[in-house]
A and B are shown apart, each in its own frame.
Chain A
Amino acid sequence: EDQVTQSPEALRLQEGESSSLNCSYTVSGLRGLFWYRQDPGKGPEFLFTLYSAGEEKEKERLKATLTKKESFLHITAPKPEDSATYLCAVQPYRGGYNKLIFGAGTRLAVHP
């Protein structure tokens, strides 16, 4: 069964304290792995798509990496505005369909 597990469930950082979020997955054929950011009461906002092991993508203070079993979202020198829930999702091969399977997310709080 396709499954996504994110850890930790919650993370509290001081401003400037770098850390990493983990996304472990099992899927019968990976088409892509996605990272989204979600603010309270809002819909997920797209951050990155990774398609193959070894791939890395960066955006401002965020960097996403992918292996065959997991992905990491590295946050360098975070600021309070980075506080949000970060969601990881996998897209399995299912012919022409692009359903996403999400993890439960990591709630990040960055304090000044």
Chain B
Amino acid sequence: DAGVTQSPTHLIKTRGQQVTLRCSPKSGHDTVSWYQQALGQGPQFIFQYYEEEERQRGNFPDRFSGHQFPNYSSELNVNALLLGDSALYLCASSFYDGTARGGYTFGSGTRLTVV
């Protein structure tokens, strides 16, 4: 049973460019959350998608946007990249059973470096 799959694993972009990261959730999961993890820090919540809609958002600017597709996969887009956007971007999936109880399964992440 495949877990959460993220692509690409590593990415180098230039300041001001745009980037798209991709995530396929674990089989049976319908909710996708995105987190940003700076070096030496814990993951910070960016947003969550369920039923192709953004349900909850953290303290991130509008440069960060996302999308969920009918097959539950998701994309994270970041526009006008800044040096401070360099981080490990984690995708996490879960199944919504109506209670919102329980945690996630995380992918291995995409390491984004902005130069």
Give the B-binding residues of A (Cβ under 8 A). Answer: 4, 31-32, 34, 36, 41-46, 49, 51, 87, 89, 91, 94-105
Which of B41, B42, B102, B106 is A98 in contact with, Cβ under 8 Å? B102
Interface residues on B, range: 20 to 34
Cα–Cα distance between A45 and B4 once the two chains are bound (Å): 12
Which of B4, B40, B41, B42 is A89 in contact with, Cβ under 8 Å? B42
Cα–Cα distance between A88 and B104 once the two chains are bound (Å): 13
Q: What number of A-B contacts does a CB cutoff of 8 Å give? A: 78
Q: A46 touching B105 by the CB < 8 A rule?
A: yes
Cα–Cα distance between A89 and B92 once the two chains are bound (Å): 14
Q: B42 touching A87 by the CB < 8 A rule?
A: yes
Give per-residue flags for B1-40: 1 if the beta carbon is below 8 A from chain A beta carbons, else 0: 0001000000000000000000000000001010000001
